[in-house]
Amino acid sequence: MANLFVWRQLKMPIAAIIWLVSMLVIIISTYAYFPIAAYGVFGVLAILFFSGSDRLAFFNYVLLTVGTVFIFLVLAFKEVWTSTEQAQAIGLHFLILIHLFALYSLSKYVYQFRTENSFLRERVLRLEDFISEEGVLTKQEFEKQSTMILATMARRNETGYYIRIDVSTLPRRTRRTAMTTIGSIVKTTVRDHYDIVGKIDEHTIGFLLQNTSEEGMNIVKSRLDNNLHDRFEEQALEDLKWTVKMLEGKTSVQQTEVLS
């Protein structure tokens, strides 16, 4: 198990080293016969292998392997190579095959890394929709749930409120802690499994009060003010920016009008 882990960590660097070393040896062995511009083929090969999937890279590897064998055979018969020249050509072709295999291996490992990274990123985003600090939803999940809630409220002709608390005016070093604290306080103040709380951006906590009158909204806001006073200094509370929007017949929180 440990050996497998070590190999997974080393296989890409090893392939890269073999690829570079084989390229340098080929260049040193042939620079007297070809112009410098001809070695641009190495760049073309790299683009060819890295621009597609691992299957395409394998197809290119097989095609180039067979193609180079055919080219060397044609040149051998056409130029009537001597035994020494044939031995040199075999050695050169062996280096080319090593270079191509290292390039294919490297492109395969890079493709696997990209695929795994993309898969993990999707899993993280999916988990973030449901798991967040202090039970506060991500913006994506908040917007998704609020859209469903507002659709239900619109069918029932219910009224609700969307309230945001912006901490961007607080000192930079305290904003993250303030966001966590406010999110926790709001979550414990509103109705559990009924109202929703979300992190709208890096500086804003938002919450949706469904099927709530203006009087009910003021009660929640007053209770929230009291809870915030227990955790924040007066100056910090004055720096918080509140936005209240009424929800009635709306399909998303972005369509609401600011009341205060």
Q: Is the pLDDT of residue 258 over 60?
A: no
- Between 2-6, 239-243, 245-249, the lowest mean confidence (pLDDT) is in 2-6
Cα distance between residue 235 and residue 230, in whole Å: 13
Q: Where are the domains of the chain?
A: 2-128, 134-258
Q: Is the pLDDT of residue 98 over 90?
A: yes
Q: Which two tokens stand for residue 215?
A: 């009087």
134-258: CATH superfamily: Reverse transcriptase/Diguanylate cyclase domain (3.30.70.270)
Region 165-188: mean pLDDT is 88
The pLDDT confidence band at residue 259, using thresholds 50, 70 and 90, is very low
User: 123 vs 99, which has greater pLDDT?
Assistant: 99
Q: Is the pLDDT of residue 155 over 90?
A: no
Per-residue pLDDT tens for 196-228? 898 888 889 999 999 888 898 999 999 999 999
Q: Alpha-carbon Rg of the chain, whole angstroms?
A: 32
Cα distance between residue 200 and residue 222, in whole Å: 22
Per-residue pLDDT tens for 12-35? 888 889 989 999 999 998 888 888
Region 134-162: mean pLDDT is 85
Give the pTM. 0.49
Do the Cβ atoms of 173 and 236 come closer than 8 Å? no
Cα distance between residue 153 and residue 251, in whole Å: 9
The pLDDT confidence band at residue 11, using thresholds 50, 70 and 90, is confident
